[in-house]
Chains A and B, each alone.
Chain A
Amino acid sequence: MTSEEEREPRELDPEAILAVLNRHDVGFVVIGGLACEVRGIPLPRTEDLDITPDRDEANLVRLSGALTELNARIRASGVPDGLAFSHSGRSLAAARVWNLVTDHGPIDLAMVPDGTEGYEDLVREAQDIEAFGVTVAVASLRDLIRSKEAAGREKDVEHLPILYQSLQKLEP
């Protein structure tokens, strides 16, 4: 999705979110649906941005600053606009997952995605890819597969055959 395309203000705008994260110098790896999209995997376009941030204390402080600029709220069922919450580098480190909604759409922070050891693990094989107007570290296809195999949610079970076939094509 580009900034030229028609977009409802609250729709996911990866360009806007990634620009804020970069402006705050946040270290992270893009995972999940957007990582698959950027890598050209034929999976349904994602509605949220999933990232694994570096859990270094200073980085989480910068992440907290970015989330403030994004007006991030806790995403909750039955609460379309989300719930306001105060956060800091320390409080962000306390949870494994944060499901949030921002002024530019939903974002999920997965500190330690299933099947991985977190940022240090994912960044090893991540590629810097130019996408949505910025250069971002995107998890490798093998790491995306590894995480989905470990997570084992219904949508992971449905997506894995497509990921395996894509891997065969991209890395024969």
Chain B
Amino acid sequence: MPQLLSSPTIPGSLILQARLRAKLSQRALAARAGTSQSTIAAYERGTKDPTYQTLSRILRAAGFDLRLRLTPHDDHDESLTTWRESLPAATRKRFQRRQAEAVNRAKKALGFT
């Protein structure tokens, strides 16, 4: 079964996103971007962070540009954090456990490890 690919970092997630959308292997993207497969893998794993210029070059090699813009702050996440932290610790732990269980169930149902 294939592994469900994800990245723990923003640059890694952007590279993975671009690679998936362009249907490129790590090796193919690395060749286009003038770097190594192991470097692309390290960026996606989050064990290495590209500079902004390097990230842009890699994304461009996959056929994408990175557009940045400022938006007014939305306190959605902070307000949710306030609400979450007002719940008992045991409730929060139980929720985290159920989150993990639900993710694993969904992965298996889709045929991922």
Contacts and interface: CB of A to CB of B under 8 A. Distances in A.
Interface of A: 1, 5-6, 8, 10-11, 37, 40-45, 47-48, 75-82, 97, 99, 101, 106, 108, 154, 157-158, 160-162, 164-166, 169-170
Interface in B68-99: 74-76, 78-88, 91, 94-95, 98-99
Contacts of B107: 42
Contacts of A42: 4, 103-104, 106-107, 110, 112
B94 to A, nearest CB: 7
A171 to B, nearest CB: 12
Contacts of B87: 8, 10-11
B10 interface: yes
A43 B106 CA distance: 8
A108 B106 contact: no
B21 interface: yes
User: A-B pairs with the 5 shortest C-beta distances?
Assistant: A80-B86, A42-B106, A77-B78, A8-B91, A75-B79
A108 B83 CA distance: 13
Interface of B: 4-7, 10, 13-14, 16-17, 20-21, 74-76, 78-88, 91, 94-95, 98-99, 102-104, 106-107, 109-112
A129 to B, nearest CB: 15
Contact of B4 (A44, A45, A165): A165
B83 A43 contact: no
Contacts of B17: 157, 160-161, 164
A1 B20 contact: no
Interface of A is mostly: mixed
13 contacts: A10-B87, A75-B83, A77-B79, A79-B79, A80-B82, A99-B75, A108-B76, A157-B17, A160-B17, A161-B7, A162-B6, A169-B111, A169-B112
Contacts of A82: 83
B110 A76 contact: no
A161 B13 contact: yes
A75 B4 contact: no
A164 B20 contact: yes
Nearest to B94: A6
